[in-house]
Amino acid sequence: MFDELDEVLRKLLIRELPIRNNEVDIKFDQPKREWSARISQPTLNLFLYDVRENNTLRQTQPMWEIVKNEDGVKTKRRRPVRMDLHYMVTAWATEPEDEHRLLTSVLLALLRHPHIPEELLPESLQDQPVPIPIMLAQYDELRNPADIWGALDNEVKPAIASVVTIAVNPYELVTLPGAVQSVETRLLPSGGRVEDLLEAQPVEKTVWTVGGIVRSSRERLEDVTLTLVERRLTLPVREDGRFVIEGLKSGDYTLEVVVAGGKQRRYRVAVPSPDYTIVLDEDSDG
C-alpha cells in the first residue's frame, strides 16, 4: 500500500509542477551521503521516515460496523485504522537557488491539493472513508531535523514536513447470516432417542417456519396486507417488508397481497424453498 501511495504522490507532482521530459527525478530513497553523492540531475526526494497511528482520528464509535446489502445479507466489518505517513520532502540540485525554486514549486503544488485527487488513486486506495488529506509544514513535525540528518550521515538541508493520512484495514469481512428463510422442526415420538432424530429423514410431522420479504419501489410497505389463503390467515408485515409464517407443512401455498385497498395479487410459494421474496413491481402468478 505504501508503495502505491508513493506512486500517487509521484504522479501528482509530475502533473502539478509540471515535470516534462524527465527533467526532474522523483525518488523515495533514504537521503544518505552516499545517495546524494550519486545525483546527476535535479531531484526531489520524498523520504518516508515515520509511520504512526493518528490517535486524534481514532474512531469513538463501536469497533465493528454492520453493512446490510440489498439482498438482506449483512457484512460485519471492523473499522479501519487511520495511519499518518510522515514524509520529508527535499530538493537536490547543483545550485542552492535551483533547490529553493524546486522546493517552492512543490510547496505550492501540494498546497493547492489539501487532499489527494481521487482520480489518481489506484483501486486499492479508493475504499477510503474520507478523502486522503495532505498536511504540510506543521510545527509539531520535524522538530529536530538535525537528528534525522545526523542519523543519515548527511548535511542539513531545508525540508518540507508532509503528513499523508490513510485508512488501513487489515481485517477480513465477516458475512453474517441474513434473514432466516426456513426452519425445519421434527417431532420426536414419545420415548424416542435424540440420536434417532438426528439421523431421521423428514417425516409427515415436519413443520416449517419461513421468513420472507415484500419488496416494491413504488408501493408503501406499511400499506400492504398479506394473507395466507389456505388458512385465511392475515400475516403481519414489518415496515421493511419482512414477514414470518409458522407451522407450515411441506407443500404449495398461496399468498395474497393487497396494497391500500387496491387489487388483489396472488403468489404461489413452495415450502421448503430457498427464497420467499415477493416483488410487487413484477407481474404476479394469479
Domain co-membership, 125 together with 18 = yes
Q: Which residue has the cell 431421521?
A: 200
pLDDT (tens digit per residue) in 92-107: 999 999 999 999 999 9
Residue type present at position 147: D
User: Total structural domains in the chain?
Assistant: 2
Between 284 and 156, where is the model more confident?
A: 156
Predicted TM-score (pTM) of the model is 0.58
Phi, psi of 92 (to 5 degrees): -130, 125
Q: Quick one: 86 exposed, middle or buried, by C-beta within 10 A (0-12, 13-18, 19+)?
A: middle
From residue 168, alpha-carbon distances to 4, 21, 32, 127, 165 in Å are 13, 35, 29, 10, 10
CATH number of the domain that 153 lies in?
3.30.2000
20-45: average pLDDT: 96
Q: Give the lowest-confidence range in 15-29, 33-47, 204-218, 247-261.
A: 204-218
Q: Quick one: 110 exposed, middle or buried, by C-beta within 10 A (0-12, 13-18, 19+)?
A: buried
Domain co-membership, 167 together with 197 = no
148 neighbors 52 (Cβ within 8 angstroms)? no
Domain co-membership, 168 together with 259 = no
- The pLDDT value recorded for residue 208 is 84
210-236: average pLDDT: 85
| Orientation of helix 96-111 relative to helix 2-16, angle to 10° | 100
pLDDT at 176 over 50: no
pLDDT at 204 over 50: no
Range of the domain at 97: 2-173
